[in-house]
A and B are shown apart, each in its own frame.
Chain A
Amino acid sequence: MNEVNAANPTIGRVLRASTTGFTVGCRVNQLDVPAFGGLIRADTADGDEAIYGLIANMAIDDDPLVRRLVLAENPPPEAIGDQRRNRLLPIEMTVLALGYGRAGRITHGLPPRPPLNLDPVVMVTAPDEVRRFTDALGYLRLVLSHAGGGVPIDQLLVAHILDVTRLRGDDHTWAARAIQELVRLLRGDYELLVPTVEALSEALPGLAP
């Protein structure tokens, strides 16, 4: 399943995983690529399977040395660069598992098994692969199933729809279809529907109802 594609930059490796999601660790100098709501793919070591998901949280940890540096009146750029470039504090990204690929076919749903520690993770930015994953919208139901679990679902959906619209070449037709699907899925959940639609209206004026 592993696709060699320069448009899909590597963003880190799996730190820990379960069926419903996994955590990716990356270095600070890899941080300019991943973004909240972005579609990512973890490739298994044997290359037979890939697990797709959305970045639902990014956390930057600290340690006693960083805490001490924060207290310095004016830490020099050499010390700040040292923390960011040399010291191995991974930035952790929480990923919601939404689908998997096997033998060239993508399926929406929880993967049969999670990725393993240290499996490489790429940001899916190649337009063809983005289309293949997002043409069908079944994965949105899985995203919504995480509501109430501490993930800001409305903001996650807005970030994701904006990102995919751009990667699909400003495909506003797809965006309108995704919004309609969300309205349909959330018609019984006004508490989530209202903020989601409001946020989408602000981000994509004219597309949201």
Chain B
Amino acid sequence: MALEFEQLSPELEAMGQRAAKRARQEADYLAAALARWRSLAGAWDVITPVLAAAAAPEAPRRLARPVAGGARLDEVFGLPAAPERGTLLAADGSQIVPDRHAPYLYYLLNVGGLVYRHGSGEPPEELSRPRLCYEDDDLFLADGLLVDGAIVGARRDRAEIELLAELAEACRHEAAPILAILDQRLLYWPASRPGWDRERNDIVLAWLAAMTRIREAGALLAGYLDRSRKNAVLALLQALDEAAGDPVLRAGASPRLTDVDLFARLLAPGQRSQLFADLSRDNRQYAEHAATNEVCFFYVNVASRGSHIARVDIPRWVVDDPVAVDQVHALLVGQCQILNGYPYGLTRADELAVVGRRDQEELENWIALRLAAHGVAAEATAKAQAKELARAGRTRFRL
């Protein structure tokens, strides 16, 4: 039975009306927030105690801490000149998750990478690394549960940053600056799951080790996030608003609003925001592991016209070098302007990594052939077969 859209008509109409009302409320809130941000941007007598309270281990809220103490929070930085030459390394990943209804249990990780020699005029180098995982240790947790998409995704994330570290080491003598990028937050903590703590911890340690390898290879590192849901700067603003007295931002705050909504009103094309760091337990642990791995971030308008705000995570070793920050800023905006909105290197790395439905079908044919060659017969569950029949499409009768 196809979806009966007629039954949804009332909800669709209500949804449209609600969205329009919400948009008006959010616009009003953001106008007030912007005015408050500007009025409090240099009020360090308010900012300092708020940050001190938020830095306490028991602090309830995750706030953004400005990296440059004493500077105006609303300062914006124009697009610096891009370096004439440079080496951009990009990695992205894709996966096929295990399906308990499939004829055989396996999962696949595929990581794509691109070495883009900015200013060289040469075509980039591309690579992809598929890995088929079918052993019991790959597929089952200690309690016997089959790994799910979240766990396979975390293993893929680890493979992505490890590929970047490998590329950074291999390219250490290429034209500087060398910038390694991921479409991923750098402050990486996969969600916890029962029976998975040890591997989760191992993945975070591997992530930190890969960050360190990239730094030691002399490369810069950035996590590029399109449509970031972070609201740490808005949270800082709300805390300042309360601390300054006569708060105006209590009413109308919506969980839908993010820092991107604020900076879309602040940043002209090419401009970036101040640098911030997360005041959070996770980031403290990163810094405790290696001070250079503390994760900071800025927002940047990567559009050539209008507004397209991205968040860029950078580690402390990049933040501590103003020239490196300018290089990250300029190279990423340049990459985004090639395709008008998203870094070219990440687009291509994604293309190299992505495993589509047809790839999956072909891989499963190959698996079936190899199993059959060894006398192993395998069959999908009755449920999977029935779904295949039902979803294959219906034939219409024609007169």
**A interface, CB within 8 angstroms of B:** 65, 68-69, 71-73, 75-79, 81-82, 84-87
Closest to B337 in A: A72
Cβ–Cβ contact A86 & B123, under 8 A: yes
Known: A65-B347, A65-B351, A73-B304. A78 touches B123 (CB 8 A): yes
Could you say which of B116, B118, B121, B338 contacts A72, with CB atoms under 8 Å apart?
A: B338
Q: Which 8 A-B pairs have the closest CB atoms?
A: A81-B123, A85-B123, A77-B121, A82-B123, A68-B339, A82-B124, A79-B338, A86-B126
A sample of 24 cross-chain residue pairs with beta-carbon separation below 8 angstroms, ordered by A number, consists of A65-B339, A65-B347, A69-B339, A71-B340, A72-B338, A72-B340, A73-B304, A73-B337, A75-B338, A76-B118, A76-B338, A77-B121, A78-B116, A78-B118, A78-B121, A79-B344, A81-B123, A81-B124, A82-B123, A82-B126, A84-B123, A85-B123, A86-B124, A86-B126
> Could you tell me the distance in whole angstroms from the C-beta of A28 to the nearest C-beta in chain B?
10
Contact between A72 and B123 (Cβ–Cβ < 8 Å)?
A: no
Residues on the B chain within 8 Å of A81, using CB: 121-124
Task: Please indicate the chain A residues that have their CB under 8 angstroms from the CB of B116 in the complex.
Answer: 78, 82
Complex CA gap A55/B347 in Å reads 35
In the complex the two chains form, what is the Cα distance from A1 to B394 in whole Å?
Answer: 48
Measured in the bound complex, the distance between the Cα atoms of B175 and A143 in whole Å is 55
Chain B stretch 80-127: residues in CB contact (< 8 A) with chain A = 116-118, 120-124, 126
- Select the residue from A73, A79, A84 with max chain B CB neighbours within 10 A: A79
Min Cβ gap B82→A in Å is 10
Task: Return chain A residues, CB-CB under 8 Å to B304.
Answer: 73
Q: Report the bound CA distance from A145 to B86 in whole Å.
A: 57
Grouping DSSP codes into helix (H, G, I), strand (E, B) and loop, the A interface class, with mixed when no group exceeds half, is helix
Chain A residue nearest in CB terms to B118: A78
> Please, which residues of chain A bring their CB within 8 A of the CB of B172?
none
| Min CB–CB distance B306 → chain A (angstroms) | 14
Task: Provide the residues of chain A in CB contact with B340, threshold 8 Å.
Answer: 68, 71-72
Q: How far is the CA of A84 from the CA of B124 in the complex (A)?
A: 11
B348 at the interface (CB under 8 A from A): yes
C-alpha gap A8/B144 in the complex (Å): 61
Interface string of B368-395 (1 = CB under 8 A from A): 0000000000000000000000000000
Q: Which B residues fall within an 8 A CB radius of A?
A: 116-118, 120-124, 126, 304, 337-340, 344, 347-348, 351
Q: Is the interface of B mostly helix, strand, loop or mixed?
A: mixed
A68 to B336, CA, bound (A): 12
Residue of A nearest to B348 (CB): A82
Known contacts A65-B347, A79-B344, A81-B121; decide if A72 and B126 are in contact (CB<8 Å). no
Shortest beta-carbon distance, A76 to chain B, in Å?
A: 6
Closest to A72 in B: B338
Q: How far is the CA of A81 from the CA of B118 in the complex (A)?
A: 12
Interface hub of A65, A75, A77, A78 (most chain B Cβ within 10 A): A78
Residues of A within 8 A of B351 (CB): 65, 87
With A73-B337, A82-B348 given, name 18 new contacts (CB 8 A): A65-B339, A68-B339, A68-B340, A69-B338, A69-B339, A71-B340, A72-B338, A72-B339, A78-B121, A78-B123, A78-B124, A79-B338, A79-B344, A81-B124, A82-B116, A82-B123, A82-B126, A86-B123
User: In the complex, what distance in Å separates the CA atom of A84 from the CA atom of B121?
Assistant: 13
Distance A145 CA – B129 CA, assembled complex (angstroms): 50
A55→B257 CA distance, assembly (Å): 59
Q: Determine whether the beta carbon of B337 is less than 8 Å from that of A78.
A: no
B121, B344, B347, B348, most chain A CB atoms within 10 A? B344
In whole angstroms, how far apart are the Cα atoms of A81 and B121 in the complex?
Answer: 8
B87 smallest CB distance to A (angstroms): 11
Q: Which chain A residues border B118 with CB–CB below 8 Å?
A: 76, 78
Name the distance in Å between A9's Cβ and chain B's nearest Cβ.
Answer: 22
- In the complex, the chain A residue whose C-beta lies closest to that of B344 is A79
**Chain B residues, CB < 8 A from A76:** 118, 338
Closest A-chain residue to B125, C-beta based? A86
B120:A78 contact, CB within 8 angstroms: yes
Minimum CB distance partner of B352 in chain A:
A86
Chain A residues near B124 (CB, 8 Å)? 78, 81-82, 86
Q: In the complex, what distance in Å separates the CA atom of A82 from the CA atom of B352?
A: 13
Q: A84 contacts which chain B residues (CB < 8 A)? A: 123
Tell me the bound Cα distance from A86 to B114 in angstroms. 11
Given contacts A65-B347, A73-B304, contact A78 B122 (CB under 8 A): yes
Distance, CA A23 to CA B118, complexed state (A): 37
Verify B126–A78 contact, CB threshold 8 A. Answer: no
* Chain A residue, CB-CB nearest to B342: A68
Q: How far does the alpha carbon of A72 sit from the alpha carbon of B121 in the complex, in Å?
A: 17
Shortest B303–chain A CB gap in Å is 13
Question: Could you tell me the distance in whole angstroms from the C-beta of B52 to the nearest C-beta in chain A?
Answer: 47
Within the complex, what minimum Cβ distance (angstroms) separates B181 from chain A? 15
Report B-chain residues with C-beta under 8 Å of the C-beta of A87: 351
How far, in Å, is A87 (CB) from chain B's closest CB? 8
Q: Which residue of A lies closest to B116 (CB)?
A: A78
Separation of A79 and B121 alpha carbons in the complex (Å): 9
CB proximity of B73 to chain A, nearest CB, Å: 33
Give B350 Cβ to nearest chain A Cβ, in Å: 11
